[in-house]
A = this chain, B = another copy of it.
Amino acid sequence: LTVGIIVIGNEILSGKVADTNSAFLARELRVVGADLRRVVVIPDEVGEIETAVRDFRDRFDVVITSGGIGPTHDDVTVLGVATALGRRKVTHAGIEQGLRRVCGAALTPAHLKMAEIPEGAELVAGEDGAFPIIKVENVYLLPGIPQILERKFQELKPRFSGAPFHLKTVYSAKGESAIAQYLDSTLDKFPDLLLGSYPKIGDPSYMVKVTLESRDQAYVEAAFAHFVGLLPEGTVVRTEG
């Protein structure tokens, strides 16, 4: 199951807010075995959203958008997604009812904007009227506020399950240039291994963190044994997994 994330928000591109939603989703998707292939951050502009959604929905099995679904002028995600998918923007009767129930006399036209959906979208979480989440075709529209996105994603998570990855980690006392040849020869022997090499600055305990991953546990165990066997004495600080 491949996934692409579209983060929508001028506040991120202008450096006012650091996006934490994509890192949260990356971790969660990895745990359930989904394959996050791309993240893009774009402005709150209908044309930008339209272009990104059209590109992503063909390229990935699932698309998740984050942001731009509130009641104000800069919340244009529903319109952008609707335009991308060639659908009209319509009002969802159930969401409207929920908003009227929750807001009562305090209801404003701005509230009702939050009941707008691309025609044909389905409600996939928040059926009680509190922060409804919709899906249209393969696109899930999540909010930008981290606390709400994180809570809502827990409801949706079972939809994204794939075969989980098995991870083993080796911390090296030697730098990348010193161990590069052992990484290369491990990949030659285990070409399907997901092998990462991450130098660390400022940690006296190790210089490089090497990650070995596969959906096949026996394969990653064999690659791990091979790689560790190649490393000269004194290289391995510790291992995990």
In this complex, the member of A30, A73, A147, A165 whose beta carbon has the largest number of chain B beta carbons within 10 angstroms is A73
Task: Name which residue of chain B comes closest to A213, CB basis.
Answer: B14
Q: Given that A26-B14, A26-B15, A40-B40 are known contacts, is A111 also in contact with B73, CB under 8 Å in the complex?
A: no
Q: Given that A19-B23, A181-B110 are known contacts, is A14 also in contact with B39, CB under 8 Å in the complex?
A: no
Q: Does A13 contact B (CB under 8 A)?
A: yes
Q: Which residues of B contact A70 (CB under 8 A)?
A: 176, 197, 199
Q: Does A202 contact B (CB under 8 A)?
A: yes
Q: Does A81 contact B (CB under 8 A)?
A: no
Asked if B38 and A41 make an inter-chain contact with CB atoms under 8 angstroms apart, the answer reads: yes
Q: Does A36 contact B (CB under 8 A)?
A: yes
Asked if B108 and A11 make an inter-chain contact with CB atoms under 8 angstroms apart, the answer reads: no
Asked if A16 and B196 make an inter-chain contact with CB atoms under 8 angstroms apart, the answer reads: yes
Task: Name which residue of chain B comes closest to A41, CB basis.
Answer: B39
Q: Which residues of B contact A106 (CB under 8 A)?
A: 178
Q: Which residues of B contact A37 (CB under 8 A)?
A: 13, 43
Asked if A145 and B12 make an inter-chain contact with CB atoms under 8 angstroms apart, the answer reads: no
Q: Which of B17, B103, B108, B211 contacts A181 (CB 8 A)?
A: B108
Q: Given that A70-B199, A108-B180, A110-B177 are known contacts, is A36 also in contact with B18, CB under 8 Å in the complex?
A: no
Q: Does A28 contact B (CB under 8 A)?
A: yes
Q: Does A74 contact B (CB under 8 A)?
A: yes
Q: List A residues 172-190 near B (Cβ within 8 Å).
A: 176-181, 183-184, 187
Asked if A197 and B30 make an inter-chain contact with CB atoms under 8 angstroms apart, the answer reads: no
Q: Which residues of B contact A217 (CB under 8 A)?
A: none
Q: Which residues of B contact A179 (CB under 8 A)?
A: 72
Asked if A180 and B110 make an inter-chain contact with CB atoms under 8 angstroms apart, the answer reads: yes
C-alpha spacing A113/B180, complex, angstroms: 11
Q: Which of B19, B39, B147, B180 contacts A73 (CB 8 A)?
A: B180
Shortest CB–CB separation between residue A202 and chain B, in angstroms? 7
